[in-house]
């Protein structure tokens, strides 16, 4: 028997469990430990609430979760209820699948002003993550700046721009929908420090910005390279650039919100009296290596809300080797130290789609198969249960989650798949 503990119940965690089942059959026990009482990590609290088809992948994880040899151990925090070293003593393999839930800092003067937030917080707010439920972003028409040219920037801009009716069928949480209904951010400026050919936005997601009821995308045709240059682009980027060309060719819209793509523009300072009022932006150009280089020309973009969407970091865990520069655990193909592994964003950083984590999960199980031999005599889950009982931890099982899930579905507003609980105590209370 092999005993595996996976820390984190998002895609990387469940794909690792699925791979372990495929590799070891009934000769493995996998405990998926999560600090929240609810599973699925990024699927629940990262994927946009109006992208329900992406969220549907959690059904696949449910199939894994409901097998005999995989357990969900919710409401158990590593570092609070159990240490990483205790887990290494108890299990043959401990796999960190903790994702990258912390924002990379902007690192410019004024980035600590009220109203400047990272995308992890903003996305967590509209997705009902307990840590960010109290965010209350300014939606007073004073303008919003979204920093970054990736898919998270698109998610943030789209959610800010949507009219109430466009959230039909989504599971955006009530507190966010109420606030978005009561006001709007005003014009939304998406800052890209490089140009249209360097965007990290995928075509489907970019195309959605062109279909919004009350908001219109604005692209300056002068920012676009000659159309012939698109031929050299990778097909996905080329398709995205085609959307930008479409936006640039549209006549001025009378929709009340403009989503302005400001390319070759990097924020250098954020100013305001006690809260953000404007972002000072420097015009850039590309150097020979394709990096952004400041030109010295600056201008101000008014904003009462700034959301930086410039990538994420994995929070360090005490005693676990960490790569500060890359913002993830130091590892060699997923191996950190004997008995300890990393998978998904915690291993390779915050890139790729949900599905990218599947081969990741299978690859880490191959490593575990090479490194372990089955009968180490480690206690695994029995040892964890004893430790947690001794500490009075209130463990949430997958069956408990199914009751919380049913309660969320039962309290959904009409047309919505669920109304999430956003406080941990409410989640615990819904177990019946
Ligand atoms: P991302 O794709 O890495 O994009 C980050 C953006 O931030 C880049 O445009 C980058 O520009 C910019 N940036 C980085 N540092 C900056 C700085 N200091 N100042 C200004 N700009 C800066 O990251 P992401 O948007 O957070 O997405 C993470 C992953 O999740 C991606 O793989 C993404 O595709 C995926 N995702 C997918 C979906 C979906 O499929 N619907 C939705 C959300 C996220 P440079 O290129 O110049 O570095």
241-254 confidence digits (pLDDT tens)? 999 999 999 999 99
236 and 276 share a domain?
Answer: yes
Domain interval for residue 278: 102-308
Asked which of 308, 340, 364 is the last residue of a domain, the reply is 308
Which of 148, 207, 306, 308 gets mutated to test ligand 1 (max ligand atoms within 8 A of its CB)?
Answer: 148
352 and 415 share a domain?
Answer: yes
138 and 276 share a domain?
Answer: yes
79 and 127 share a domain?
Answer: no
Q: pLDDT tens, 379-393?
A: 999 999 999 999 999
75 lines ligand 1 (CB under 6 A): no
Residue 309 clears pLDDT 90, i.e. is over it: yes
258 and 233 share a domain?
Answer: yes
Inter-residue contact 274 to 115 (CB < 8 Å): no
92 and 153 share a domain?
Answer: no
344 lines ligand 1 (CB under 6 A): no
Which of 170, 311, 356 gets mutated to test ligand 1 (max ligand atoms within 8 A of its CB)?
Answer: 311
Mean pLDDT of the chain: 96
Q: pLDDT tens, 396-428?
A: 999 999 999 999 999 999 999 999 999 999 999
Contacts made by residues 402-406, CB under 8 angstroms, sequence distance 24+: 403/430, 403/431, 403/432, 404/37, 404/38, 404/430, 404/431, 405/38
Number of structural domains the chain divides into: 2
- Give me the pLDDT at residue 375, please: 86
128 and 70 share a domain?
Answer: no
User: Is the pTM here over 0.95, yes or no?
Assistant: yes
Q: How far is the CA of 68 from the centre of ligand 1 (A)?
A: 38
300 and 328 share a domain?
Answer: no
Residue 194 maps to which CATH number? 3.50.50.60
121 and 241 share a domain?
Answer: yes
Q: pLDDT tens, 265-296?
A: 999 999 999 999 999 999 999 999 999 999 99
88 and 127 share a domain?
Answer: no
- Give me the pLDDT at residue 432, please: 80
Residue 232 clears pLDDT 90, i.e. is over it: yes
**What is the torsional sign of CA 29, 35, 38, 44?**
negative
56 and 172 share a domain?
Answer: no
Asked which of 256, 274, 308 is the last residue of a domain, the reply is 308
Residue 396 maps to which CATH number? 3.40.50.720
Asked which of 308, 332, 353 is the last residue of a domain, the reply is 308
Q: pLDDT tens, 118-171?
A: 999 999 999 999 999 999 999 999 999 999 999 999 999 999 999 999 999 999
Render the burial of 254-270: b for 16+ CB within 10 Å, e for the rest.
eeebbbbbbbbbbbeeb
Atom of ligand 1 nearest to the CA of 356: 32
Which of 126, 152, 292 gets mutated to test ligand 1 (max ligand atoms within 8 A of its CB)?
Answer: 152
111 and 170 share a domain?
Answer: yes
Share above pLDDT 90 across residues of the chain, in percent, rounded to a whole number: 96
Pick the range with the lowest mean pLDDT from 62-66, 127-131, 177-181, 237-241: 62-66
Residue 374 clears pLDDT 90, i.e. is over it: no
């Amino acid at each position: 028997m092999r005993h595996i503990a996976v820390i984190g119940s998002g895609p990387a965690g469940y794909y690792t469990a699925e791979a372990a089942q495929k590799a070891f059959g009934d000769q493995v026990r996998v405990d998926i430990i999560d600090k929240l009482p609810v599973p699925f990590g990024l699927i629940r609290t990262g994927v946009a609430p109006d992208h329900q088809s992406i969220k549907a992948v959690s059904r696949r994880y449910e199939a894994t979760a409901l097998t005999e040899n995989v357990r969900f151990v919710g409401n158990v925090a590593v570092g609070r209820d159990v240490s990483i070293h205790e887990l290494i003593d108890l299990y043959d393999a401990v796999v960190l699948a903790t994702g990258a839930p912390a924002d990379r800092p902007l690192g410019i003067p004024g980035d600590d002003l009220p109203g400047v937030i990272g995308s992890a917080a903003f996305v967590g707010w509209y997705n009902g993550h307990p840590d960010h439920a109290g965010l209350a972003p300014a939606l007073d028409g004073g303008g919003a700046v979204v920093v970054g040219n990736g898919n998270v920037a698109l998610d943030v801009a789209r959610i800010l721009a949507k009219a109430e009716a466009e959230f039909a069928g989504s599971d955006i949480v009530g507190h966010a929908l109420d606030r978005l209904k009561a006001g709007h951010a005003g014009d939304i400026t998406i800052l890209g420090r490089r140009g249209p050919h360097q965007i990290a936005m995928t075509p489907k997601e970019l195309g959605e910005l062109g279909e919004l009821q009350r908001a219109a995308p604005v692209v300056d045709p002068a920012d676009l390279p000659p159309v012939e240059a698109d031929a050299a682009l990778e097909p996905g980027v080329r398709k995205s650039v085609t959307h930008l060309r479409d936006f640039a060719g549209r006549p001025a819209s009378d929709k009340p919100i403009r989503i302005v793509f400001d390319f070759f523009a990097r924020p250098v300072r954020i100013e305001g009296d006690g809260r953000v009022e404007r972002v000072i932006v420097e015009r850039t150009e590309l150097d020979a290596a394709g990096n952004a280089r400041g030109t010295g020309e600056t201008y101000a973009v008014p904003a009462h809300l700034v959301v930086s969407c410039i990538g994420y970091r994995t929070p360090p865990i005490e005693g676990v080797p960490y790569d500060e520069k890359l913002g993830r655990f130091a590892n060699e193909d997923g191996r950190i130290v004997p008995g300890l592994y990393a998978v998904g964003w915690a291993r390779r950083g915050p890139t790729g789609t949900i599905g990218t984590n599947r081969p990741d999960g299978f690859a880490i199980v191959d490593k575990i198969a090479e490194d372990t031999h089955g009968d180490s005599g480690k206690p695994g889950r029995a040892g964890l249960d004893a430790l947690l009982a001794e500490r009075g931890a209130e463990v949430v099982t997958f069956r408990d989650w199914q009751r919380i899930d049913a309660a969320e579905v039962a309290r959904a507003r009409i047309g919505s798949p669920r109304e999430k609980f956003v406080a941990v105590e409410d989640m615990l209370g819904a177990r019946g």
